[in-house]
Amino acid sequence: MKLRHQNKMRAFTLVECLVVMLILMVTFGGVIGFRYFSILSAERAETQLLAARAAVVISEAWRAQKGATDFDPTQQGFDDYFQILPAGSVLAFMGTLPSGSLLLGDYQVEIEGRQFRAKLMYENAAGVPNARLLYVVMNWQDRKQLRQQFCLSTLTQT
């Protein structure tokens, strides 16, 4: 009596191939999504850093003029990467003005191709003779058209 052995070739089934492809698609989709959101987060952080730098530059220029009530940052000698112009259109101000503060001006700031709106306000410091507080409020819109804001205050002797 002869025993017959069938030689079966082992191969992947269609279902196994589809499962592997599904796992690879989910993995690649996750990697691409992670890269997109990490780039978006880095861009948002860089924009906020530029707004903070602009606020510091403006406040330091104001401090250099000893808290002048007629301070105009458009008259300062900034480099070509940092341009300040008077605001042409009215943009709604986010937040409330501090009580007792006076408006110094509303300006459009452009740094490295990014547009910001700067509102400058000052007030005499309560209880401190010859001192003024400057508030610099930077507004901008991110890629998703969400309004963002950065606030900075500084104190100077007059």
pLDDT of 9 reads 67
Task: Tell whether 7 is covered by a domain.
Answer: no
Mean pLDDT of the chain: 84
pLDDT of 55 reads 92
Mean per-residue pLDDT, 62-66: 90
pLDDT of 102 reads 85
Helix (H) or strand (E) holding 20: helix 14-64
Task: Tell whether 80 is covered by a domain.
Answer: yes
Task: Name the DSSP class of 69.
Answer: T
Mean per-residue pLDDT, 36-51: 89
Domain count, the chain: 1
Task: Tell whether 116 is covered by a domain.
Answer: yes
Q: Distance between CA atoms of 107 and 124, rounded to whole angstroms? A: 22
Give the residue with greater pLDDT, 96 vs 109.
109
Task: Tell whether 9 is covered by a domain.
Answer: no
Mean per-residue pLDDT, 57-84: 86
Sequence letter at residue 106: D
Task: Tell whether 5 is covered by a domain.
Answer: no
Which domain, by its residues, includes 66? 14-157
Both tokens of 55, joined, read 């606020």
- Considering only CA atoms, which of 123, 149, 118 is closest in space to residue 134? 123
Task: Tell whether 131 is covered by a domain.
Answer: yes
DSSP bridge pairs for 154: 134
pTM of the model: 0.73
